[in-house]
Structures are given as structure tokens and as C-alpha cells.
Structure 1
Amino acid sequence: MKRFVDGDEVDLDEAGAEVVRAGDRLMVRTPEGTFSAVAVSQGDAVLVSYKGRQYRVEKKSTRPRGAAAASSGQLLAPMPGQIVDVRVAEGEEVKKGQTLLVLEAMKTQQPFNAPFDGIVKNLGVAKGDQVIDGAILAVVEPA
């Protein structure tokens, strides 16, 4: 079974682990021994805490990411963060490169610019909103 773990494709069957539910915990049997894990659903992903580390496990995404998302007009959050500035409104005409909004994550501000001339078709956030990784922040439709 192939899944993405922290963005890297992994074949879970080849890992040699067996996972068994034990109440609100998971028991993971590996060649090294048996360990406890905790899993929490977050949208289409599962957050797993295992052996002192946290992982994000998800099926292969059908949503466009990175350059593909930008060329489609979707602006997606690359990581969890807070919207610190929104400079446009839904329905507003924008020019390529115009800053639409600013996301702050890990003490760094990241501006999101219009990928092309167009109209803001959907603005899914407001100043102060907390967003998760992969959230659709805005959609720009070509003019």
C-alpha cells in the first residue's frame, strides 16, 4: 500500500510493520519490537505520533500542487500558518504578480501573487485566519 509520509512516497507493505488497533492507540509490530502510536485524522490526512516523531500520512493527492496549482489559478498554503494580510476582495481584477495575500508561517511572511491577469474568483481566507497545509487560499480566473 503506497502512501505519502511527510511528502515522500512510501510503500507501507515493504516496511515490514504490522499495525493493530488497541483501544485509542495503535500497536506497531516491527522486526525491532512492538511500539505504541497515536493517530488523528485531519481532513484527508492522518497525523501519526510514533516513537517520539510526528508524521503526516496521506493518499496521493489529486489536487494540483506548486507550479501546477499556480498555473490553474489556485493558491494553496504550502504549510500551516496565519493569514496576516489580505489585499484584494472576491471579484476584484488583478494583474500578474500583484500581491493578493500574505501568509505567516514559522516566523516568515510569504506573499501570494496573482499567477496571471484575472479576477479573484474565490477568496477563502480573511486576515487573522489560521490555515492548514494545502488549504485553498484563493482562486484567480484568467480575464
Structure 2
Amino acid sequence: MPFSGQLGGRIVQRERRRAVWLDRQEIPLEVAREGDAIAIRFVDADGKVGKAHLLQSAWKPGDPVWQGTIDDHLVAVQVRPIANGIRLAHQGVEVPVYVWTEAEATSARLMPVTTAADTGKKLLCPMPGLIVSIAVTEGQEVKAGEALAVVEAMKMQNVLRAEQDGAVKKIHASAGATLAIDALILEFS
């Protein structure tokens, strides 16, 4: 049974120009279907379009591996979804990839670049809770797996352990303190 009001025979035309970001490096290109293949043409800084590179594959979004040919060369690439893009891994190189229309790329360029804070030399509170005890002192050498502190959350005590060998530089929390998530408990030197 057909749906009422449905438009028939209208071909959807997609934007050919795309901005592909490998991490934050932008590569302008044109994408078009040519027979059974997808034709990718790189666009230089002057706006000139290069020769077509033909991609052929039976890959569907959600498949963990893209297998196909690029200019008749057999290629396999691991594909994992990430927020707003995909992460590709090939021959030991892994990179986040984002494909934008020109309008989306214009907006994406305005977004601030955030980097994760270096928490390698810090012990942060993993959940809101009460510090039951601190098992180390400033200047103490600790080994990987050694207990550092005990945090009580939701009536459960959680032992926080050292992830690697090191020395305690400074203790920022004390037993009895109530801490928020990611609050600094101690630092390593």
C-alpha cells in the first residue's frame, strides 16, 4: 500500500564538495558516484579538481572492516565509529576521520580544539564520595598496585591503587573529606 502524499521519482542530489579531516588536517575533495564505484577527486588550494580515484566496496556502515579496491588495489581498513566521525586503522596507523559538507566544515573550524588534561601524575577521585583513608605519605615510594586511598561511595569502599611505580609528591585530600568527581587526591613526582 503506497503512502499518501509521497513524492515519486525525485532523485536526491547530494553535495559533491566535502571537507575530510584526518584528525584536524583538512583535505578538500569532490565525491560522486560513477557506475559501481565512488569517484574521489582531490581539490587543490586554487580550487582545481584532480583526477578521479575509484573506490569500490560492498561495505556498509557498522561493518568493522572496509574491504574493497582503491584504483584497482585491494585494501582493508579497520573502521570504528566515534562521535561525529569514524576512526580508521591501516598498517599500524590510526586516525580519527570526519567528513563534512562545506557548510559543516565552516562551522567545525570555529569549534575550539580541546585536549585531555594530563592526569598521569595525579590521583583523581573517580566518583563523588568520602575519603575514608589515605594509605601513603608525602615522599613515599609506591609500587604499581599498591593501595593509595580508600573512597566510600554509595556505602561501598573503593580502594584506589597506583597504576605504576613512583613517589608521592603532595597529598591534597585528607581522611573525612568529601570530594567531587575528578577532585585531586594526590600528586606524584
TM-score if structure 2 supplies the norm length?
Answer: 0.37
Which structure would you say has the larger Rg? 2
TM-score if structure 1 supplies the norm length?
Answer: 0.48
Specify which structure has the bigger relative contact order, considering alpha-carbon pairs within 8 angstroms and separated by 6 or more residues: 1
